Amino acid sequence: MSISSRTPRRVCPKPVHMGTAGTRISPELLPESESVCTFSCDLVGSGRRCLALIYPRPPSRRKILDNIGIQTVTPAKALRASPNILDVSSVMGVFEELGYLWQVVAQLFPGKPHFKTEDIPDLTGKVVIVTGGNVGIGRETIKALLQHNAKVYMASRNKDKATAAIQALKEETGKEAIFLELDLSVLASVRKAAAEFLSKEPELHILFNNAGVMWCPIEWVTADGFDMQFGTNVIGHFLFTELLMPALFAGTSSSPDHHARVVTTASSGAYLNTLDWDTFKDTSQRKKTSPVVLYNQSKLANAIVARQVAKQYADKGIISISLNPGGIDTELQRHAPKQRAIMRATILQPVAMGALTQLWAGVMPEALNHNGEFLIPWARLGKCRKEAYDDEVGQRLWAWLLEQTKEI
C-alpha cells in the first residue's frame, strides 16, 4: 500500500514523451542516475520506482500518509514540477491515477459499518474453506462462520499454528474447524489439498481465498519458480479454485439460494499498479521491481481473476466477488516492521473489522447481486482499477494461469 523506500525525490530533467497510462518507461530514456521522473512513473503504472500523488483533505491526513512513506503532492505542484513530460494523454492519466489514489486514502477511513456479524444467517449445512485462516482476517472470518454453525476447513500451511488456532477458536465459539494442509506457494501442495478436500466432501458452498503474503524479500520465489507474492496470492489460489470447482458446482444444488461463492481477498493495493507480465516469474525485471509494486500487482490480479471466475461460471451458479478488507492490524506487514509500527499507531483498524466485507460477500443474500464486483470496506460496492474490468486483460491472464499450472 505504501510506496517503495527507494523512491527517488528528484525531478527528471529530460523531456520524455510518456504516452498513455500503462506505457513502460524505456530504461535508456531514464538512466539510473536520473532513475525516475518524480511523479510520472506512477502515472504510467510502469511497475518501477514511483512517487504517489495524493491530494487528500483534510491536510492532517496528508501528514499521516507522509509518515508511512506515501509521499504527497498536490496535482498543481506535480504539473509545475514536470511540465516538459506532459502530453494530453498523460494529463488524463494523472487524473485517473489521482482518482485511484484517492480511493486508497478514502478506503482507509470508511466510517461506520452497516453490517455486523450478528446479521449473518444460520449457516447449518454450509461447507466452507478459508485459506490462511489461522491468523488475522482469515481467523476472524472462521470465528464468525463457526458461531453461525458452518462446517469450516482452515486451509493453512503450518500444522502447529493451525492446530493452536483451531483449539483457541474452539474455546471461543464451542465449535471446531477442520485443518486442511495447504501451501499456496507449492503447486503440488495445492493439488494435494484440493484432492484431500474432495475425498472428504462432495460439496463446497463458500471458498474464501483469503491467504496472502505482502512485501516479502525480493529473493523469495515459490517452489515452482514464480514471484512469491504472485505465486502465493494469485497462482496458488487460481489453481485451488479451479480444482475445487466440481465441489462448488455440487454445492449450488444443495444451497437454498442455488449458488456457491468464491470470495477473494484483494486489497486497496490493487489500485496502485498495473500488471507487469515480465515479473510473474523469477526474471531480472522482477528482481529490479519493488516488493511493494509486486504486492500491488498481485492484488490487482486477484480482482482480475475473481471477475473472470464470475464470467466463466455464472451460468453454473457460481458467484465470485473480490474485495478490499480495509487497513487492518494483522501480521501481514511482518516484513516491514517500521512501517507496521507507524501504521498501527495511525490508520490500522481492529482485526474483527477486516472480516466484515468478506463475510458479507460470502454469506449475505444481497451479495448475490454483485457477481464479478469489487467490494470496499465495510461491505460496500466499490470500483476497482480499470484493468479489473478489461476482458482482454482478464482472458490473457486466465490463459496464462491455465498454461502455467497445467503441468505442475
Rounded CA-CA distance 23/41 in Å is 9
* Residue 270 sits in the site that holds ligand NAP (CB under 6 A): no
Which contacts qualify for 58-65: CB closer than 8 Å, 24 or more apart? 61/105, 61/109, 64/346, 64/347, 65/105
The residue from 56, 136, 251, 394 that contacts ligand NAP (CB under 6 A) is 136
Stretch in the footprint of ligand NAP (CB under 6 A) among 120-128, 177-185, 372-380, 382-390: 177-185
Q: Residues with Cβ < 8 Å from 359, sequence gap 6 or more?
A: 115, 117, 120, 141, 144, 145, 379
Q: Residues with Cβ < 8 Å from 218, sequence gap 6 or more?
A: 286, 287, 289, 291, 294
* Residue 297 sits in the site that holds ligand NAP (CB under 6 A): no
Q: What is the largest CA-CA distance in the chain?
A: 65
* Residue 224 sits in the site that holds ligand NAP (CB under 6 A): no
Can 151 be counted among the known catalytic residues?
Answer: no
CA–CA–CA angle 248, 251, 257 (5° rounding) = 120
* Residue 7 sits in the site that holds ligand NAP (CB under 6 A): no
String of contacts with ligand NAP for each residue 337-356, x by CB under 6 A = -----------------x--
Rounded CA-CA distance 61/126 in Å is 42
Stretch in the footprint of ligand NAP (CB under 6 A) among 45-53, 74-82, 152-160, 304-312: 152-160
Catalytic residue among 100, 153, 271, 295: 295
Smaller CB distance to ligand NAP: residue 93 or 236? 236
Q: Please, are residues 266 and 323 in contact by the beta-carbon 8 Å criterion?
A: yes
* Residue 164 sits in the site that holds ligand NAP (CB under 6 A): no
The residue from 46, 103, 229, 265 that contacts ligand NAP (CB under 6 A) is 265
Q: Provide, rounded to whole angstroms, the least separation between the CB of residue 26 and ligand NAP.
A: 32
What separation, in Å, do the N-terminal and C-terminal C-alpha atoms of the chain show?
Answer: 31
* Residue 184 sits in the site that holds ligand NAP (CB under 6 A): yes
Fill in the DSSP letter of residue 388.
G
Fill in the DSSP letter of residue 281.
B
3-state secondary structure of 264: strand
The residue from 43, 73, 86, 182 that contacts ligand NAP (CB under 6 A) is 182
Rounded CA-CA distance 119/379 in Å is 12
Q: Provide, rounded to whole angstroms, the least separation between the CB of residue 95 and ligand NAP.
A: 25
* Residue 229 sits in the site that holds ligand NAP (CB under 6 A): no
Paired strand residues for 180: 155
Smaller CB distance to ligand NAP: residue 39 or 295? 295
Q: Provide, rounded to whole angstroms, the least separation between the CB of residue 355 and ligand NAP.
A: 9
Rounded CA-CA distance 301/50 in Å is 20
The residue from 157, 261, 307, 340 that contacts ligand NAP (CB under 6 A) is 157
Catalytic residue among 299, 316, 383, 389: 299
Smaller CB distance to ligand NAP: residue 183 or 227? 183
Burial string for 308-327 (b: 16+ CB within 10 Å, else e) reads bbbbbbeeebbbbbbbbbbb
Smaller CB distance to ligand NAP: residue 16 or 261? 261
Stretch in the footprint of ligand NAP (CB under 6 A) among 155-163, 197-205, 368-376, 395-403: 155-163
Active site residues: 295, 299
Residues forming the site for ligand NAP (CB under 6 A)? 131-132, 134-138, 156-158, 161, 182-185, 210-214, 232, 265, 267, 324-325, 327-328, 330-332, 354
